Structures are given as structure tokens and as C-alpha cells.
Structure 1
């Protein structure tokens, strides 16, 4: 473990020919602004050219080996760009009767049509309630502006629904004029658009993460390989999706957050 510019780096083995860095904000150190943290970690390279810290107040874990030029960042939305805890997944599971440890969407898909409709209504109700409590992580907009300036592609990959995804992103402080080549829409991109991102994928794109198909689709649209992309998220589904696709992964969170409960 070593201190580095107000950030604590802890090397953790992941797999042969790769390494994982757990990065956490030092309590005793002065926190970096999101752009400075992003610049610092990218400059450090961590064995790649491809590490982004979304917020100095949110520790992240970075996994990945050496790769070619970084082409884009895929962001989860809830708990990654936004502060964690807005959606009460525990209550959602209880209301839907999802067994502990089982994937909510997979559970719903196995039910009868009538039951699926009932559970879908419950899930949307919980997502609506989460939107009312939602706030963006400190530095989220600044990080996206920095990536825009670097002309890196940006995408959203969420298991939320289309409507909540668009209403959440509508609250993100980002000027349309700031978008440059990294943010321009892909040729056959979804009609769902936002100036900060070239692609927006919700659970209407199937199969959903942790299946690697969404990242493979994003890479095809961007004309790059998965090892030129980073998947940034706050749950095991995000990490599993990125690893299965062959992308680098960043786990972001705050001490005490239940990273692996959904």
C-alpha cells in the first residue's frame, strides 16, 4: 500500500498478467477535485492508459492489464453517476419476493405473464421513488467534461428503465455545446440521446448486464475493441459484465455502501 497525491493505492491480485488496484480516499489527506483525480490517475496509468476516478470522495477499484489506446468509458448510472442508496433494492426484493442472492430481472422473467406485469409495476414504482431521492455524485459533471475534452466516447449502461434513465440524465449539469467528437451519436445508435453520451442502454437492451452483450454492442458502435474500454460501476454486475466482455473495470463507491447486493 502506498499514499499517492491524497489517494491510497492498495495492490490486489486479480489474475495472471493483470492487476487490480483498490483506490480509496485517504481520510487524513485533502480530497482531490474530480478532474484533478481523473487527470492524476490517468497520468499514473496503473498499467494501462485507462483509469478514471469519478469522485475524490468515492473510492474505486480498478482491474485490467495493459492495453492499447483508451477509446471510451461505459458508465453505470444508479450508484455510479448518482449517489448510492436512492433506490431501495432491499424493499424492491421484498415486495417482489425475490430470494436472497437471486438476480431481480432474471427472477421476474421466469414468472407467468400476469405475475411479470405485476412485478414490473412494483419495480417501476421503486425506481420512481428512487428518482425522487436521487442526487448526482460530487464531480460527476466535471468528470464527464474532462472526458469530453479528451475526446473519449461515453456511454450509459443501466438496468433501470428508459423513462427513469432519461429523466435522471435530464438533471445532469452538462451543456450541449460541450459535446465534441467523443460524444457524437453512433450511426445506428438508439433514438434516446443526451449530449454527454453517444450511447444510452437501459434494460430494454437485452440480455442485460452482467451479460457481456451490451458492452460488445457499444464497442461495435464505437469501432473499438473491449480492451480499449473501461466499464465503471458500483456493483458486482458491472464488474462481471466488463470482465466477461474483455473490458477493463472500475468499481466505485463510498465506505459502507452495499456494493454487491444487486
Structure 2
């Protein structure tokens, strides 16, 4: 990764969603929001990852999905994947919605903002969360680690796929990615989207990361931010040379 001297500071902006304030803004229009799931729509269940690594016999520094993908045989990959899924299925019985979740989703629906999901979970825990806590809300598309042909975050492929499905021609340039991890911030940033970090007890170190545009403590804080116009505190675009993504 390049040093910070090779990055330029900028602010990501979107026009207010409140029609009364729209005419006074020259900022781009927000076209949709992509949400992570675990730790974003529901409270973090970080204990899962220690259990997964123990089940797979790997250290904290090893990415779980990368480890599974690199196993030498289909049988080994299938066995490892099933171990991870078993832990996720158990954890999903204890999912709790994030504070402010329903208020934010009701607001976005009222304002006609498209919503999608991009998660490293598999489909079953995602479906469980939506059915139990957001049964009347629609998220399309829903990208999981099992979505064919797309690499999981931190790769931007899932977010770019969502942008394409929504007919957007500039990648994630008119989107916001909301998440709680570095994978979320990096995937959003490299897709060209603005990023919002939902803070918890474990991710405060990401406040100043070059891929983080804005931080919130509760999801419903986004209501006022979007109503009056999104302005990122600061972010570093990719290299200012032609090879970078703005």
C-alpha cells in the first residue's frame, strides 16, 4: 500500500434527501446504500470468528475465507465450509438488531433510496435477520460469499455488481457503503463509493483510516446526515495519478 504522502485529501458529498434542501446543493445525488450484515444490521457477534478459527486450526492473522479457498481438495473445502456454517447457524439464533435499524430503514424507504446487502456471511443467517427484524423491507440484490462469480470483500466486486444491477454507469460513485470492518471500508472505497463506519468496541482504530469517510455510533444518525446532505469528514482518494480511482 502506498504511503499517505501519495494520497490526496478530499470530501465525499451527496445532495440532501430532503426535497426542500435539494435546490441549494450542487452535490451529486445519492442513488443507493449498500449495507454489511453482521455487526452492521445486527449487533456484532465477534466470538464467531474465534470459534471458526479454532474449528479450522488457524491463527487470528489468517483470513477464514481465504484459508478455505486455498485448501487443496474439494472435500477439504466442503468440510471446512460446513464447520464455519455450523457456527454461523448457531450464532444466528442470537442475532439482535442494531439500535436505530428500523428507523433508518423506514426513512430510506420513505425517501425512495435503494438498498442492497453485501456480506461475507452465507445466505441463511442473512435471511434469518431479514425475516425476524426487517420483514417488510426489500434489499436487492443481496450479495453473500456464495454469490457465483464474485469475490468476497474486501474485493469491490460485490458493490460494483450492485451498481451495475441498478444501472449506474460510474461504479459506486453515487453509493454509500455502510459497515463495521476494514473489509467494508476497503471494498466500498475501491468501488468508488463513500463509506460510513458503524463504530463498536473493536473498530475505533478505523476512524482515521484512509478508506473511512464518516463514522456513526448508531444507524439512525444517518437519517439527519442524509436529510441535510452527506459530507464526509475526510478521506484519501486513491493515487492522484491516472492509475488511481477517484
Under a length normalisation based on structure 1, what TM-score does the superposition of the two structures give? 0.66
Residue aligning to 1:16: 8
Contact 1:81–1:137 at 8 Å: present in 2 too? Answer: yes
Q: Distance in 1 between matches of 2:56 and 2:70?
A: 13
Residue aligning to 1:58: none
Decide whether aligned partners of structure 1 residues 85 and 114 sit closer, same or farther in structure 2, where only a CA change above 3 A counts.
Answer: same
Decide whether aligned partners of structure 1 residues 50 and 68 sit closer, same or farther in structure 2, where only a CA change above 3 A counts.
Answer: closer
Residue aligning to 2:141: 199
Secondary structure at 1:215's aligned position in 2? helix
Decide whether aligned partners of structure 1 residues 130 and 258 sit closer, same or farther in structure 2, where only a CA change above 3 A counts.
Answer: farther
Residue aligning to 2:223: none
- State the Cα deviation string for residues 35-74 of structure 1 (Å, max 9, x = none): xxxxxxxxxxxx512799xxxxxxxxxxxxx961100000
- Deviation, 1:213, is 0.9
Under a length normalisation based on structure 2, what TM-score does the superposition of the two structures give? 0.70
Q: Distance in 2 between matches of 1:90 and 1:259?
A: 20
Decide whether aligned partners of structure 1 residues 142 and 174 sit closer, same or farther in structure 2, where only a CA change above 3 A counts.
Answer: farther
- State the Cα deviation string for residues 146-171 of structure 1 (Å, max 9, x = none): 01111111001111111221122111
Decide whether aligned partners of structure 1 residues 134 and 114 sit closer, same or farther in structure 2, where only a CA change above 3 A counts.
Answer: same
Residue aligning to 1:83: 43
- Deviation, 1:14, is 11
Contact 1:199–1:218 at 8 Å: present in 2 too? Answer: yes
User: 1 or 2 for the larger relative contact order (CA 8 Å, sep ≥6)?
Assistant: 2
Matches within 5 A, 1:67-78: 68-78=28-38
Residue aligning to 1:23: none
Q: Which runs of 5+ in 1 are unaligned?
A: 1-12, 20-46, 53-65, 176-194
- Deviation, 1:80, is 0.1
- Deviation, 1:249, is 0.7
Residue aligning to 1:149: 110
Residue aligning to 1:114: 75
